[in-house]
């Protein structure tokens, strides 16, 4: 893999949550349903998206997909709270990474 | 009997001893790798937690501003204002090697460096609340990107640590004891064989000696008979 490649950033989630990111110049993919979000995530993974921000509200329904991209270099699927607030899944994932590495939650 | 089936030969013994040496060395190296990875991981994960808390808090604040903006403006207006962004972001990704784990490093570039360019709309028809919301979001974006990098790093490190830990344990508790047992088995077996052949030799020597003594005795007896008989004969005369 050559150094310094051009990549893009995607934001995936319900329309109200992700709309604002458009102003920042990120690629925004509003999804109506979890099923749609799942399909979009797979499609994005095949393209040159290095970072995909996914709202927790959808991530809750597609844990397996999020898990799948954990060990891959790209894309980094990063959970962000949706408009309805944080579900704590993002934090739980940090915790589970610790558990995976150490064998127990020591933090 | 050892758990693995081995030929009790000297060649096999030499081979196993070599493998054991390599395994012990590998085990030590992997253990060092695991410890160092763990050290790095703890630093990363601590930052990850702090950063995530910060990003979540600030994102919620940005969302709240958007809610205010959408209360002031009609949803159609809001969407229209944000539909065509002036700004675009490109991401450069390079890799950093942490104990043979490739972790990404992101550098993002905006198409224009003017901070005012984040507002993709004219100010005449939009409310000031929308400006606040977009501003808040752009403020949190730096941290979001940093979060992406840190979180991916921690995930990749966690995977590598898990793998290394398994290897260390497999070597420590399965492979090395197994080899030691096999080596012990072969050594015992070879010693046993050696003792058996010594005993066999001693036995054979015994048998040969016995036979020789027997023959000697017979010869003497014959001689005694022959000469003794003639002696008797002469004695009579």
Contact across the interface for A80 and B144, Cβ inside 8 Å: yes
Q: Model-level pTM?
A: 0.78
Is the pLDDT reported for residue B104 higher than 50? yes
The CATH architecture one would assign to domain A8-102 is: 3-Layer(aba) Sandwich (3.40)
Closest Cβ opposite residue A20 in set B48, B62, B152: B62
Contact across the interface for A1 and B95, Cβ inside 8 Å: yes
What is the reported pLDDT for A1? 42
What is the reported pLDDT for A3? 47
Mean pLDDT of B38-46: 91
What is the reported pLDDT for B174? 93
Q: Which DSSP string do the residues of chain B spell out, in sequence order?
A: --SS-----HHHHHHHHHHHHHHHHHHHHHHHHHHHHHHHHHHHHHHHHHHHHHHHHHHHHHHHHHHHHHHHS-HHHHHHHHHS-S--EEEEEEEEEETTEEEEEEEEEES---GGGG--S-SSSS-HHHHHHHHHHHHHHHHHHHHHHHHHHHHHHHHHHHHHHHHHHHIIIIIHHHHHHHHHHHHHHHHHHHHHHHHHHHHHHHHHHHHHHHHHHHHHHHHHHHHHHHHHHHHH-
Contact across the interface for B91 and A98, Cβ inside 8 Å: no
Is the pLDDT reported for residue B100 higher than 60? yes
Checking ipTM against 0.90, whether it exceeds it is no
pLDDT in tens, B168-211: 999 999 999 999 999 999 999 999 999 999 999 999 999 999 99
Domains of chain B in sequence order:
10-176 (1.10.287.3240)
| Higher-scoring residue by pLDDT: B58, B66 | B58
Domain boundaries, chain A: 8-102
Across A9-23, A48-62, B69-83, least confident range: B69-83
- B 135-174 near A (Cβ less than 8 A): 137-138, 141, 144-145, 147-149, 151-152, 154-159, 161-162, 165
pLDDT in tens, B27-37: 999 999 999 99
Contact across the interface for B87 and A23, Cβ inside 8 Å: yes
Chain A touched by B54 (CB under 8 Å): no
* Nearest chain B Cα distance for residue A35, angstroms: 24
């Amino acid at each position: 893999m050559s150094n310094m490649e051009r990549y893009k950033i995607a934001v995936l989630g319900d329309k109200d949550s992700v709309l604002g990111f458009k102003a920042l110049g990120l690629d925004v993919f509003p999804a109506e349903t979890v099923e749609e979000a799942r399909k979009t995530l797979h499609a994005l993974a095949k393209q040159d998206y290095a970072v995909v921000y996914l709202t927790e509200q959808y991530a809750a329904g597609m844990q397996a997909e999020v898990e799948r991209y954990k060990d891959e270099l790209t894309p980094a699927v990063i959970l962000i709270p949706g408009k309805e607030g944080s579900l704590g899944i993002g934090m739980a994932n940090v915790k589970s990474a610790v558990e995976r590495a150490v064998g127990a939650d020591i933090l | 009997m050892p758990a693995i089936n081995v030929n009790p030969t000297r060649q096999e013994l030499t081979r196993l001893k070599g493998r054991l040496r390599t395994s012990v060395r590998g085990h030590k190296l992997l253990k060092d790798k695991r410890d160092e990875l763990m050290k790095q991981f703890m630093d990363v994960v601590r930052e990850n937690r702090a950063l995530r808390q910060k990003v979540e808090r600030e994102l919620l604040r940005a969302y709240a501003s958007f809610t205010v903006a959408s209360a002031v403006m009609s949803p159609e207006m809001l969407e229209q204002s944000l539909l065509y962004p002036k700004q675009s972001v490109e991401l450069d990704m390079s890799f950093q090697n942490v104990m043979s784990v490739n972790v990404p490093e992101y550098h993002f570039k905006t198409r224009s460096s003017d901070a005012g360019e984040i507002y993709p709309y004219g100010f005449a028809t939009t409310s000031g609340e929308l400006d606040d919301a977009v501003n808040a979001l752009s403020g949190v974006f730096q941290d979001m990107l940093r979060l992406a990098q840190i979180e991916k790093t921690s995930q990749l490190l966690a995977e590598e640590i898990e793998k290394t830990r398994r290897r260390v344990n497999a070597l420590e508790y399965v492979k090395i004891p197994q080899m030691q047992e096999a080596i012990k088995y072969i050594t015992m077996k070879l010693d046993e064989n050696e003792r058996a052949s010594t005993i066999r030799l001693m036995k054979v020597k015994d048998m040969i000696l016995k036979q020789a003594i027997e023959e000697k005795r017979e010869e003497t007896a014959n001689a005694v008979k022959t000469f003794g008989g003639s002696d008797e004969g002469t004695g009579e005369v």
